[in-house]
Amino acid sequence: MKESYINSESALDFIYKNYPASNIYYFSNTNNIEIPKFEDYNRSVTFINTSFRGDLKLAIYVEDNLTLSFTKQDLNDYVGKDEYALSITDINNKVYFNKNYEDDGEIKNSNKIGAGQNFNITLNNLPGSIYYLTFSKDRFNDAPDSSIKNIKINSNKVVFIGNILPWSSFEVYTKVQNNKSIGFLYWWSGKDQIISIPEYREKEIVLDKDWVNKRYNLLLYSGDYEIKSDVGYLWIYTDVLSTKPNSFFVIPLNKENNKFNSQDIIVIDKSYLNIDENDKEMSYFQDLKLEKETKVKMKVIGDSLYLKNITLELKE
């Protein structure tokens, strides 16, 4: 509870302004997500000076025009074509761009890094919104055999969504509202490294031979953190990262995170909810569209809530 709150005209906007970086579960049948206004948004170019291997997902806020450039570089460690697919969608899953970028021509196991292929994309007349840029690796290779680097985007609001695999030195930032974990894992012997986190009480994490193929989990408390390494070549397991503090922003609702588990805040449509403050009871009513042989599972999460009863009514 806070002593004062920033007023808003919708539930999601209220949460976004008062509880940034919170993990939210949203009970809703709507397909549209409200987009917050970023007062510090501008069209300055964000350059991501790191190479990435495998899948990579970015979220950006942009108005009107989007310009994107990047370099695809094949590693050629495995036999087969090294391709990347890129899709650009808005936060409500509307597709604006979808293309497959083909192999550089070397499909044998040559162990020779290919020449970089440079690509440029421009999308015009876009409504002000959050857009997802999803780079998907070739699914037919034994392992990711291409990298993406030299990413430039004409927006100062750019974040990484989900896990990333930096294939070179990196420097990232995250803001923590509620305590969260971040994980590191490397498997390449000889890629020992020190991960610097000045705001963390230990200041740095030493990943040496004792941590090869072992995930190092770190609990971050509320605050701001800059995380960097001169090596890379490791997985970073997290939710949202940016390259610098002023690029960071919080997705108001990530539709991909649709599991009801341990969210900080739950938003429920008041037309389905009844709260009895005297008895400290909450009743929730919802129509379920069931298909043939559908199984329904009810679960209470946490030790401070108790399920009193469930009533199921079949309707034609």
pLDDT in tens, 242-264: 999 999 988 765 444 556 666 77
Averaged pLDDT score across all residues of the chain: 85
Report which of 160, 156, 166 is spatially closest to residue 57, judged by C-alpha positions.
160
Contact of 251 with 59, CB cutoff 8 Å: yes
CA dihedral 59, 61, 66, 67 (to 10 degrees): -60
How many Cα atoms sit within 13 Å of 76 on the Cβ side?
16
What is d(CA 130, CA 35) in angstroms, rounded to the nearest whole number? 7
- For residue 233, being part of any structural domain is answered with yes
Provide the domain limits for residue 66: 46-247
Query: What's the pLDDT tens digit per position in 218-230?
Result: 999 989 999 999 9
Q: What is the mean pLDDT of residues 185-197?
A: 94
Q: What is the tally of structural domains in the chain?
A: 1
What is d(CA 286, CA 306) in angstroms, rounded to the nearest whole number? 19
- For residue 223, being part of any structural domain is answered with yes
Give the CA distances from residue 121 to residues 70, 133, 159, 258, in Å, rounded to whole numbers and listed in that order.
Answer: 9, 12, 19, 31
- For residue 253, being part of any structural domain is answered with no
Q: What is the mean pLDDT of residues 41-60?
A: 95
**Residue 301: band (very low, low, confident or very high) from pLDDT cuts 50, 70, 90:** low
CATH number for the domain that contains residue 216: 2.60.120
User: Is pLDDT above 90 for 167?
Assistant: yes
What is d(CA 244, CA 16) in angstroms, rounded to the nearest whole number? 20
Of 30-39, 42-51, 54-63, 300-309, the poorest mean pLDDT is in 30-39
What tokens appear for 233 in the block? 């070549």
- The string over 283-315, giving b where at least 16 C-beta atoms fall within 10 Å of a residue's C-beta and e elsewhere, is eeeeeeeeeeeeeeeeeeeeeeeeeeeeeeeee
Of 30-34, 172-176, 201-205, the poorest mean pLDDT is in 30-34
Of 19-23, 100-104, 172-176, 201-205, the poorest mean pLDDT is in 19-23
- For residue 103, being part of any structural domain is answered with yes
**Residue 232: band (very low, low, confident or very high) from pLDDT cuts 50, 70, 90:** very high
Higher pLDDT, 307 or 34: 307
Model pLDDT, residue 34 = 67
Any bridge partners for residue 56, and if so which?
Answer: 135
Higher pLDDT, 176 or 235: 235
- For residue 143, being part of any structural domain is answered with yes
- For residue 305, being part of any structural domain is answered with no
% of the chain beyond a pLDDT of 90: 46
Higher pLDDT, 167 or 263: 167
What is the DSSP pairing of strand 84-90 with strand 117-137?
antiparallel
- For residue 7, being part of any structural domain is answered with no
Q: Provide the residue type at 13 as one letter.
A: D
Q: What is the mean pLDDT of residues 48-63?
A: 94
What is d(CA 120, CA 151) in angstroms, rounded to the nearest whole number? 10
DSSP letter at 277? T
User: Is pLDDT above 60 for 49?
Assistant: yes
The CB-based long-range contact list for 301-309 (8 Å cut-off, 24+ gap) reads 301/260, 301/261, 301/262, 308/281
User: Is pLDDT above 60 for 102?
Assistant: yes
What tokens appear for 206 in the block? 């030493």
User: Is pLDDT above 80 for 141?
Assistant: no
- For residue 38, being part of any structural domain is answered with no
